[in-house]
């Protein structure tokens, strides 16, 4: 296993620790800060593994499969934790996670087709991923700051910003998911 793939695996290994700290707020001091550190570390590995793989010619089929899977595991875990904490409506998390399954399904169908297509991420998909990661990061940072007394976690500003970020992520999720379905409709017909 090369370095890029090891970094991707590290991202997956960090996810349970992230989830633990997210949900241990009642009994672990500064748990959101620790969760934020785990999330940041996982996000850094996401950037690093791709750059290393391309720069040092370490791109592998395993890495092409594992990297987006690791992203989906991290984002899905964060959304489930956010729902548990009341930071995100369940319908929004379900929508974002369902889109990930649909796109993964389309990719599997394409890879298993006669043409053995490999579907790269679209501009809309990349924009959706960036917006969702940014939204999750900003929301987590707001609650870390609230833990340190910078402002009240239930202030109207926090709630408005949090909800706006989730709704933007949902909008981009719907657009990018619909684009994938439209672009690969012929593949799905067969």
pLDDT of 119 > 90? The answer is no
Sign of CA dihedral 122, 109, 91, 15: negative
List, for residues 156-165, the tens digit of each pLDDT value.
999 999 999 9
Residue 145 confidence (pLDDT): 96
Domain count, the chain: 1
pLDDT level of residue 14 (50, 70, 90 thresholds):
very high
List, for residues 22-48, the tens digit of each pLDDT value.
999 999 999 999 999 999 999 898 888
Residue 157 confidence (pLDDT): 95
pLDDT level of residue 77 (50, 70, 90 thresholds):
very high
> What CATH number has the domain bearing residue 91?
1.20.120.1760
Report how far residue 63's alpha carbon sits from residue 15's, in angstroms, rounded to the nearest whole number.
18
**What are the strands, taking DSSP E only, across 14-163?**
none
Q: Which domain holds residue 118?
A: 3-189
């Amino acid at each position: 296993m090369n370095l890029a793939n090891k970094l991707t695996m590290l991202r997956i290994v960090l996810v349970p620790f992230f989830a633990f700290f997210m949900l241990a707020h009642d009994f672990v001091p500064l748990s959101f800060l620790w969760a934020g550190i785990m999330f940041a570390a996982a996000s850094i590995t996401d950037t690093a593994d791709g750059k290393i793989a391309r720069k040092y010619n370490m791109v592998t089929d395993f890495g092409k499969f594992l990297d987006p899977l690791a992203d989906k595991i991290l984002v899905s875990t964060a959304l489930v934790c956010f729902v548990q904490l009341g930071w995100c409506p369940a319908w929004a998390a379900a929508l974002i996670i369902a889109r990930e399954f649909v796109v993964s399904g389309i990719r599997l169908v394409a890879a298993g087709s006669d043409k053995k297509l490999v579907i790269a991420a679209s501009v809309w998909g990349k924009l959706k991923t960036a917006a969702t990661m940014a939204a999750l990061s900003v929301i987590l940072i707001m609650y870390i700051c609230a833990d340190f007394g910078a402002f009240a976690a239930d202030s109207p500003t926090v709630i408005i910003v949090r909800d706006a970020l989730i709704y933007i992520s949902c909008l981009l999720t719907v657009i990018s998911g619909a684009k994938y379905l439209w672009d690969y409709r012929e593949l799905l017909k067969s």
